[in-house]
Structures are given as structure tokens and as C-alpha cells.
């Protein structure tokens, strides 16, 4: 099933690029087909698709949709050779991809023009990530006395 999802999402990635600019889908499709055998080519397929999005200056909706397809492709391709029972598309991975896509789309349509926003954004993301990880950390090892 994982191989089927990897093949399907790779073909969807090539179709997404073909809808944007048909001729640029050829290298993406070549990398997708090669990615079925070599995982490095899957990464190259996603990078080629993202470079097409960047070069043609697409809208946030198109970039978000293509990014979701690319995320699905990488998740499924990375776990094709994983041990039995490894499921790449879990509820947290899908929810995280959707939430961050919606957040990026919302941020791109906000009419704010703040000069300091590009400097503050990475700092805010790191602080929020540290806050989230700190809340999920296992404190049992720190609370137990040393032998």
C-alpha cells in the first residue's frame, strides 16, 4: 500500500507541475520514475517541482497544494523500504502538513507590511517549537535519583 501511495503521489506531483507549466513536468516525471528505485531521485523530483513554483511565481494556493502533494510523496517514498508496520501517513503527519499549509497560506494573504517580520518570524517559530517540545518532554528521567 505504501508503494502504491508513493507512486500515486509522485504522479500527482508531476501532474501538478504539468498544470502549471507543461514542459517543466518532464524532468519532474523522470525524477519521480527514478525515485521509485532510488530515494535520492524522489528528493530531486520535489526540488525540481519547487523550483518550477519559485521560478514561475505561482499563487499561494497552487504552492500550498503542490507542497502537500510533495510532502505526501516524500513521506511515502521514504518508507517504501521500511520494516513492516511503519505507516507514513499518520494522523499527526497529515494534520501537521495541513495545519502548516493553512498557516502559510493565511500568512501570505495578510495585508501586513512589517519591515521586521522576516527577522522575527524564525525566532518566533523556534520559540514556539521549543515551547511545544518542552511540554512533550519526558521528565521521569530527570526526576529519578541517580544510582
Average pLDDT of every residue of the chain: 81
Query: DSSP character for 24?
Result: G
Average pLDDT estimate for 61-82: 83
Rg (CA), the chain: 19
Average pLDDT estimate for 1-24: 85
Q: All 3 cell numbers of residue 125? A: 517559530
- pLDDT above 70 for 138: no
Q: All 3 cell numbers of residue 122? A: 524564525
Does 140 or 86 have the greater pLDDT score? 86
What does the angle CA 67 – CA 96 – CA 17 come to, to the nearest 5 degrees? 10
- pLDDT above 60 for 81: yes
Among the listed residues 11, 18, 16, the one whose alpha carbon sits nearest the alpha carbon of residue 32: 11
85-105 pLDDT per residue, tens = 777 777 877 888 888 888 888
Among the listed residues 97, 80, 58, 55, the one whose alpha carbon sits nearest the alpha carbon of residue 5: 80
Report the range of poorest mean pLDDT among 3-7, 76-80, 133-137, 142-146: 142-146
- pLDDT above 80 for 51: yes
What is the reported pLDDT for 141?
58
Cα 24 from Cα 52, distance rounded (Å): 7
- Tell me the pLDDT band of 75, cut-offs 50, 70 and 90: confident
What is the reported pLDDT for 30?
92
Amino acid at each position: 500500500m505504501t508503494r502504491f501511495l508513493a507512486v500515486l503521489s509522485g504522479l500527482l506531483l508531476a501532474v501538478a507541475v504539468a498544470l502549471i507549466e507543461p514542459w517543466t513536468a518532464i524532468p519532474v516525471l523522470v525524477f519521480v520514475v527514478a525515485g521509485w528505485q532510488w530515494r535520492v531521485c524522489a528528493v530531486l523530483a520535489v526540488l525540481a517541482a519547487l523550483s518550477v513554483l519559485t521560478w514561475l511565481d505561482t499563487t499561494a494556493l497552487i504552492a500550498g497544494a503542490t507542497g502537500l502533494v510533495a510532502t505526501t510523496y516524500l513521506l511515502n517514498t521514504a518508507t517504501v523500504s521500511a520494516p513492516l508496520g511503519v505507516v507514513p501517513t499518520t494522523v499527526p503527519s497529515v494534520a501537521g502538513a495541513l495545519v502548516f499549509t493553512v498557516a502559510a497560506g493565511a500568512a501570505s494573504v495578510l495585508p501586513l507590511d512589517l519591515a521586521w517580520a522576516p527577522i522575527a518570524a524564525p525566532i518566533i517559530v523556534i520559540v514556539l517549537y521549543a515551547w511545544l517540545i518542552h511540554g512533550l518532554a519526558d521528565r521521569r528521567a530527570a526526576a529519578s535519583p541517580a544510582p
